[in-house]
Structures are given as C-alpha cells and as structure tokens.
Amino acid sequence: MEYRVKIKSIGLIHYNILGLVVEKPQGYEFEPGQATELSIDREKWRDEKNPFTFTNLPTDRDLEFTIKVYPPHNGVTERLSTLESGDHLIIRDAFGAIQYKGKGTFLAGGAGVTPFISILKSLEYQDRLEGNVLIFANKEERDIFLKDEFQTLLGSRFINILSQEKTEGHHFGLIDKEFLKSEIMDFSQYFYVCGPPPMVNDVISALEALGAEGDNIVIESV
C-alpha cells in the first residue's frame, strides 16, 4: 500500500548524513529494524523507489530516517537532499530481515548501522539494552555518525574500527576473524550483521569459523 506523506523537517546532521522526519500515516506500523520503499512525489520520480530504514521508535508520532548521501549518484538519495519541509514523499508498507532475537553483538558497516538505530532505541526504552554491543566499521573517523548518541546509549560497549585511518581510541583494520576473536569472548550469542554485501559475507565467514551458529546470525545487506 502507498501513503503520501509530508516532510516535517529535513537537513544534514553530519557531513554526508541526511536527517529526515515525515508525518506518520494513521495506523502505520513497523518493527524496529524494518524499512520502507520511499519515492519522491514529483513527476518522473514517483516510480523511483529506494529502501530506507526507520530510525525512530514505532510509538513515536512521526517517522524518522537517517540517510547516507552519495552526491555522485543521480538517484533518489541525492535528490532527497534538494527537498524542503512541506514537500511530499511516498512510502510503502514496512519490511526487513533484521529483527531483534536476543542479547548480542551488532556489527555494522557504514550505512549498515541504520537498522540498528531503532532497535537500540527500543531496547533502551524497554530497559533491555544492557549486554548488547555495537561494533561500527567505517573508513575514517569523520565517517562515524551519531557518535554521541551511540556513546550515550552504550558507553564502552560502542566500539569503532576504521579501515583507512589510524586514530587514538579507535581500532584499525577490518572486522575479520582476528579482530572478532580479540573483542568477543562468547560466540554462542546472537550476532546482527548489516553492511555492504562483501563485508557481510566476510563477517559471516569469520563468525562461523569462530563457532557462531548460523541460526544466531541475523543479516541484511545495504
């Protein structure tokens, strides 16, 4: 089903991250971690659909999205950054593979952290956040977005790793077998993995090699 929604606020919240808030259709529901296909309600753009994850609580009055902008791409994401409050979008019913099953470690690559935002907020709201860990992989320190929010939510259980820059307070390298072995003691827990397909595949292989059960690995690619 399609819903026409008005933009309530839109703007950069990081150098390459767009914060978008739209009105919530009456009766609209989603689960933390789910996404919707979004289109711009303008001629020639209504059939151009891109999936974006909800990054607010399902109980909130509005719908919120946290979107990584890729300026070289002449698509929906780039076009969104030209819109203003009062413009309209089209959203569809919610979908998504990432759902919280139990305490575990969230492993995110870049924009792959977005499905985890609503999940972590929901766990905090329910007072169930204790024991969950977020490992966030980026290229450089400046690519880490919502850093203060994650730090507030998780404290020392928010771990950053950078692949192209060595900086104090951050791990350097990739989320590979050696890194996972050094950071995780229990591989019987749940693992939530989201990021670019090559990263997701590599992380799954490393987790399984370290003893993680396939049923305990929840995945989604971006």
pLDDT tens digits, 177-205 = 999 999 999 999 999 999 999 999 999 99
Look at domain 3-91 and name its CATH class. Answer: mainly beta
At 172 the pLDDT is 98
Read off the pTM: 0.94
3-state secondary structure the chain: CCEEEEEEEEEEEECCEEEEEEECCCCCCCCCCCEEEEEECCCCCCCCCEEEEECCCCCCCEEEEEEECCCCCCCHHHHHCCCCCCCEEEECCCECCCCCCCCEEEEEEHHHHHHHHHHHHHHHHCCCCCCCEEEEEECCHHHCCCHHHHHHHHHHHEEEEECCCCCCCCEECCCCHHHHHHHCCCCCCEEEEEECHHHHHHHHHHHHHCCCCHHHEEEEEC
Q: Work out the mean pLDDT of the chain and round it to a whole number.
A: 95
Please provide the CATH number assigned to the domain covering 104-221: 3.40.50.80
Q: How confident is the model at residue 15 (pLDDT cuts 50, 70, 90)?
A: very high
Is 72's pLDDT higher than 80? no
**What value does the mean pLDDT take over residues 132-153?**
97
Same CATH fold assignment for domains 3-91 and 104-221: no
pLDDT tens digits, 17-35 = 999 999 999 999 999 999 9
Domain extents for the chain?
A: 3-91, 104-221
